Structure 1
Amino acid sequence: MSGHLRAPIPSATMPRKETERMNTSPTKTDDAKLSWTAGNLATLDLAACTCAPVLGPADVGRVADDIDVWDAWPLADASGAPVPWHGGELWFALTAPMADDPESRHALARIHHFFREGDSFRHLGQTLPEGFSPGSREWSGAARLEGAQVALYFTAAGERGESHLTFRQRLFMTRCTLTENQNAPFGPWSAPREIVEPAGPYMAAQESEGRIGEIKAFRDPFPWRAPDGTEYVLFTGSAAAAPRAFNGLVGLARMDEASGSYLPLAPLVDATDTNNELERPHIVEHAGRLYLFWSTQAKVFAPGITAPTGLYGATAERIEGPWHLLNGHGLVFANPPSEPFQAYSWWVLPDLSVTSFVDYWGVDDASATEKPEGRTRFGGTFAPFLRLSLSGERASLT
């Protein structure tokens, strides 16, 4: 549910001025592993930050003529590495029919799957049957191969059959058998099971109306297995202790073996009074350390904080911490200043390659993303892969 610049759906449940008035007293979630603050970001030198290469027309090859594609993830093994399949890899991404207004895609999002071979992606089709999801649309998640079983984690947005789109978000998982059919790789899916519910530090995301970028979050599930075999799930959350405009969290829950459900734990990152959305969090293990990554946009930082749209992260030796912001402030790399909207929703793989999608490219002013020019400048496709270099608490593009 990412890559948005503006809201096609008018009116928020709480006016912007009111939420900003609430943002007056610092409240951090108890026992958060890491607090991400304005003070951390004050050390960020925008002129010296690492930036992705500028995209040109040759970098924007659409994967299909009739759909927009964003927020991608692979069918991965327990380490997060893509699983080899028929000489390539299976990938998932959010898609929507190509429309005059690209921002309308969030109200139509469905998970589709693709075959990746080298640098090319081939569209295979819609992943979950119509009417299967408990929501009115499907938002981001992750997928893992366990033996011959595919475990697909996803966000159910809204309510199935609703006549007016809402922003309720719930975390689900479903399973199927991986087949050898290259055009139909998935067997029948099991009934979707809700894996963790908002409780404790986490606010329920159940607004009936909202503006994209300002709604609260309970989405983007990512499974991670610790070296001792303990199963966790990360997610994008909002702080229940700070019900105001900027209260983003990277949430964490641990599987309870007896029930098979995940029990909420203290968040990994608390960005209260700093940022509203720490999207699509995921962990990569490298050189004996854990690296936690998330994506966020310039527009969802709190007033007074200047930081770019980019990939951010932190590192620790173990899930319990202590966690330290990468590069001291969290920014790994940003979109280039001349192309501040060109890509979004970065996903780091264990080989340190990084995928994303082409957002609005060839523009440096948000007004240029409005209709009708916005349609001509919206990529809606996979972006070229980048590659990271990680060393202790330092991270950069190679």
Structure 2
Amino acid sequence: MRGIFDHPLPCPRVFEAQDIWHFDPSQTLWDIWGVQTDAGDLAQVDGASLWVMLCAPRAQDPDMRHTCARLRLLMRRDRVWHDCGNLLPDGFSPGSREWSGSTRLDLKTNVMTLWFTASGRRGEEVCSFEQRLFHAQADLVFTRNVPVTRNWRDLTQSVINTGQLYTDVARTPGIPGRIKGFRDPYWFRDPANGQGYLLFTASKPEHQSTSHYDGVIGIAQASDRYGLKPFELMPALIDADGLTNELERPHVFVYHGLYYLFWSTQKQVFNPSGVQGPTGLYGMVAPSLFGPYQPLNGTGLVLANPSEEPLQAYAWQVLPSLEVVSFVDYWGLKGRDPRADHVLKARQFGGSIAPSSYLELHGAKTRIVSTGS
């Protein structure tokens, strides 16, 4: 990552007021991902694509959304977005909140498989930072041209974290702003051998870590073809011990024979005594899933927020089509700090779908082609 500020940062355009819109002004949306096929392509159903985001009632303190997050199903048809309601039925999740994951759809059977993070425990009086990975299936049907999930079933804990390979966040949760991770499961089938895996955000266990900044990208191997049984944990795929506390929303796909691995990291979770980086989308490339990896663009940085609006978006996902989706975080600040002004913080939190960017990939080099509407 050294030398990251020696060159102009790769940035999309600055968002404007017309970029910030909501299905329902009373709701907040964040952490978007597409419903994909088993091969990773965006699933197309009846001429539309399906998406999932986290959702919560809009509050004066935007940070409160993490204490009541639910998964929300969305549809995009002819560039128009439609809200399709909560993805999971009430009381189905074993957590007190539903956090990010990934979703696959079998286009032959219309069976949807969801891997997600159950945060906390159902019924707990005080929200905890415990994170567990689960998966379940449902049938996708269309009612009056609106997608609906029915018959949710086979809720299974995807992996059991014993604390040997990754921090057990039930015992070592961290502190607000620097919580430990065991979340964001992302399903990937390796085209080289057909084996299925889960990638996830994790933290290095204390007995192996050299720093409080101990973020890693974890990986687990499926024990059956479709990832419906418990997975086997494996050693971390990427280790950022000593550099940063979080490598969030990891995802990978194969493009022109190379494996591109991406994640998001915020500026404030970098080790202040080490190499610094901006809030942005980072990535590495390798000839195989298990490496060896080299940082994209020499530093790992693929996309950063504009310097004049360093908080405008977060939680990027790169699709195999090279469209980059994210959500609008704090926009239109013009150099002001939302942490110092509660009114500004509430007013300038977007909580909506951000304009997409588009990439070009050429080996270990990337370039932002455009930012759309």
Say which structure, 1 or 2, has more relative contact order (CA 8 Å, 6+ apart): 1
Tell me which protein shows more strand as a share of its residues.
2
Instruction: List per-residue Cα deviations over 1:312-367 (Å, max 9, x = no partner).
Output: 00011111211111111110010011000000000111110000000000113334
Could you say what the CA RMSD is over the residues aligned between the two structures, in angstroms?
1.7
Matched, 1:378 2:335: no
Q: Which residue of 2 aligns with 1:366?
A: 337
Q: 2 CA distance for matches of 1:190 and 1:126?
A: 16
Instruction: List per-residue Cα deviations over 1:204-249 (Å, max 9, x = no partner).
Output: 1125875433110000000000121101000000001217420000
Q: 1 CA distance for matches of 2:347 and 2:131?
A: 31
Report the CA distance between 1:187 and its aligned residue. 1.4
8 A contact 2:130–2:173 mirrored in 1:
no
1:306-345 correspondence to structure 2 within 5 Å: 306-345=276-315
Q: Which residue of 1 aligns with 2:5?
A: 45
Between 91-100 and 141-150, report the one with greater CA deviation: 141-150
Q: 1 CA distance for matches of 2:313 and 2:229?
A: 37
Q: 1 CA distance for matches of 2:173 and 2:209?
A: 20
Unpaired segments of 5 or more residues in structure 1? Answer: 1-40
8 A contact 1:207–1:215 mirrored in 2:
no
1:229-240 correspondence to structure 2 within 5 Å: 229-240=194-205
Q: 2 CA distance for matches of 1:369 and 1:209?
A: 26
Relative to structure 1, the CA distance from residue 331 to residue 120 in structure 2 (aligned partners, 3 Å threshold; closer, same or farther) is same
Q: 2 CA distance for matches of 1:339 and 1:312?
A: 18
Unpaired segments of 5 or more residues in structure 2? Answer: none
Matched, 1:54 2:14: yes
| Structure 1 stretches of 4+ moved >6 Å | none
TM-score, length-scaled by structure 2: 0.92
TM-score, length-scaled by structure 1: 0.86
Which amino acid is 2:102 matched to? A
Matched, 1:282 2:245: no
Q: Which residue of 2 aligns with 1:224?
A: 188
Q: Which residue of 2 aligns with 1:188?
A: 151
Q: 2 CA distance for matches of 1:44 and 1:355?
A: 23
Report the CA distance between 1:43 and its aligned residue. 2.2
Matched, 1:66 2:31: no
Report the CA distance between 1:45 and its aligned residue. 2.3
Matched, 1:179 2:141: yes
Q: 2 CA distance for matches of 1:210 and 1:56?
A: 36
The alignment-based identity, stated in percent, is 39
Q: 2 CA distance for matches of 1:370 and 1:196?
A: 41
Relative to structure 1, the CA distance from residue 167 to residue 226 in structure 2 (aligned partners, 3 Å threshold; closer, same or farther) is same
8 A contact 2:20–2:328 mirrored in 1:
yes
8 A contact 1:291–1:315 mirrored in 2:
yes
1:164-175 correspondence to structure 2 within 5 Å: 164-175=126-137
Instruction: Give SS of 1:333's match.
Output: strand
Q: 1 CA distance for matches of 2:324 and 2:170?
A: 32
Relative to structure 1, the CA distance from residue 54 to residue 366 in structure 2 (aligned partners, 3 Å threshold; closer, same or farther) is same
8 A contact 1:234–1:281 mirrored in 2:
yes
8 A contact 2:283–2:300 mirrored in 1:
yes
Instruction: Give SS of 2:345's match.
Output: helix
Relative to structure 1, the CA distance from residue 47 to residue 320 in structure 2 (aligned partners, 3 Å threshold; closer, same or farther) is closer
Between 184-193 and 327-336, report the one with greater CA deviation: 184-193
